[in-house]
Structure 1
């Protein structure tokens, strides 16, 4: 039985299930008759119609055919795929390697005007140096068992990251202090990455805040999963097993409010530079 981890996914699944139920009712057939025509169990029909189980493209096509509405199958399959894309396992996204994933997201990066990024695990992708990105992607490929196209993927990520220096884009970036101390790569790689962060702070399009490890979290906001907000209309959340896409307004609001509270915890300017310099000093 499939389960869906966000309200955005749940609402998309519920909307699709409602449309399928309407087709059955318009056709004037029972769930049992539909199951007979499709060649599956009544329980399966019930699970699909109640948004308990996600249908496959073939299931949607069979359902439409059984209801005499084969012409509606393409639209419903498209809706099914859109709902499916809201929660996608990394092993599926990276089944052919990581280069394609970087290239597929480039148009969204180029079209986004305002980025809001909260980094609780690693340095955000658009701020990664070649060495840091290489070390990180190598670890990811090894852990997930994906095809080793790290060199090509790093090049694709660096091309995508040109948005930091080109075009009309603004970046509000929050990084937990402990991210500065997570050793990704060797000492030289980390020193280069942290030095690059210092240089990035001078960019007029970049607001870089560091959340001190010692800051009090009471009544403000606890550490969250890493996420990126694109123009306040779409959010990508990075889980260990999957990428979650959030587009439902109520859920978007939760993340935006969370980001706003996190900004209250961060330090900027000279104070942020001090924390980065301390992390560099700790490498010695």
Structure 2
């Protein structure tokens, strides 16, 4: 993944341009012939293919139609729209403060009916206690070298937004790696409280928590942390950035991966036994 949002946006534009060129070649058309079918200036096809001119949604649909590839248009439209906003640096998002960052997600959360959440490293935000959040945010600000962030206000904001867990109209399906239970964030008391809270939240009717044991036979390797919002958006969390994915086929791939991860997980008494074991190991 490129190290800056600018290079990532350029890479995304080039990927769209490359796919459009492949579609034209598969159709056996020259750039001039494509331009004629789309009623464009003949240089426009070349500028789009060389990622010098970003195509509009209408351009992409016309291109695919001219090449007999209408079925690929919507994926390309989504990819093109995301070219500039695909890769968003955490530092830029945090510039307005950690509290504002937490609050910025609320509208999306309110609109989402089904959350599919996979986490290989930390307890998902919706399930975090204030002590766990404090330890996590303190580690983040220390890593970023930004001690001016108002951690206390950010913790309060995350706790506020997590109340959506107990409101009607939202379902949560979560899959955690067993490592999440073993990684220690904060003091022993913080982890004990967090794991105890996890046990209590599992009883909510709208919440499903599965845990993939260390000993599980894997068909899907541990992936990056991601959340699927209904069936139209995936957000992937990286160390320095957040990846937003909206292309339908890519979203479908994450949904498929989540389904397979669910098959590795244990639920109910078996999941509770893993959590209880992790609590006992704290002693």
TM bucket normalised to smaller: 0.7 to 0.9
Check 1:191–1:50 CA distance in 2 against 1; reply closer, same or farther (3 A cut). same
The residue aligned with 2:144 is: 144
The residue aligned with 2:186 is: 185
3-state SS of paired residue (2:96): coil
Tell me, in whole angstroms, the C-alpha distance in 2 between the residues paired with 1:141 and 1:240.
12
TM-score of the superposed pair, with normalisation by structure 1: 0.75
Tell me, in whole angstroms, the C-alpha distance in 1 between the residues paired with 2:9 and 2:259.
23
Unaligned runs of 5+ in 1: 31-44, 55-78
The residue aligned with 1:92 is: 92
**Cα RMSD after superposing both structures:** 3.1
Equivalent residues in 2 for 1:22-171, closer than 5 Å: 50-51=50-51, 83-146=83-146, 147-171=148-172
Asked if 1 retains the 8 angstrom alpha-carbon contact of 2:175 and 2:209, the reply is yes
Check 1:6–1:159 CA distance in 2 against 1; reply closer, same or farther (3 A cut). farther
The residue aligned with 1:37 is: none
Equivalent residues in 2 for 1:7-18, closer than 5 Å: 9-10=12-13, 14=17
Check 1:115–1:201 CA distance in 2 against 1; reply closer, same or farther (3 A cut). same
Tell me, in whole angstroms, the C-alpha distance in 2 between the residues paired with 1:232 and 1:91.
28
Asked if 2 retains the 8 angstrom alpha-carbon contact of 1:12 and 1:83, the reply is no
1:222 and 2:224 correspond: no
Check 1:215–1:81 CA distance in 2 against 1; reply closer, same or farther (3 A cut). closer
Tell me, in whole angstroms, the C-alpha distance in 1 between the residues paired with 2:51 and 2:128.
40
Shift of 1:27: 7.3
The residue aligned with 1:260 is: 259
Asked if 1 retains the 8 angstrom alpha-carbon contact of 2:14 and 2:50, the reply is no
C-alpha distance after superposition, 1:149-202 (max 9, x if no partner): 111111111111111011311010000001101010100000000000000110
The residue aligned with 2:175 is: 174
Shift of 1:267: 0.2
Asked if 1 retains the 8 angstrom alpha-carbon contact of 2:90 and 2:242, the reply is yes
Check 1:28–1:208 CA distance in 2 against 1; reply closer, same or farther (3 A cut). closer
Shift of 1:113: 0.6
Tell me, in whole angstroms, the C-alpha distance in 1 between the residues paired with 2:117 and 2:216.
19
3-state SS of paired residue (2:116): strand
Shift of 1:6: 11
Unaligned runs of 5+ in 2: 22-34, 55-78
3-state SS of paired residue (1:197): helix
The residue aligned with 2:249 is: 250
3-state SS of paired residue (1:4): helix
Asked if 2 retains the 8 angstrom alpha-carbon contact of 1:102 and 1:153, the reply is yes
3-state SS of paired residue (1:164): helix
3-state SS of paired residue (1:83): coil
Tell me, in whole angstroms, the C-alpha distance in 1 between the residues paired with 2:214 and 2:184.
16
Tell me, in whole angstroms, the C-alpha distance in 2 between the residues paired with 1:109 and 1:267.
26
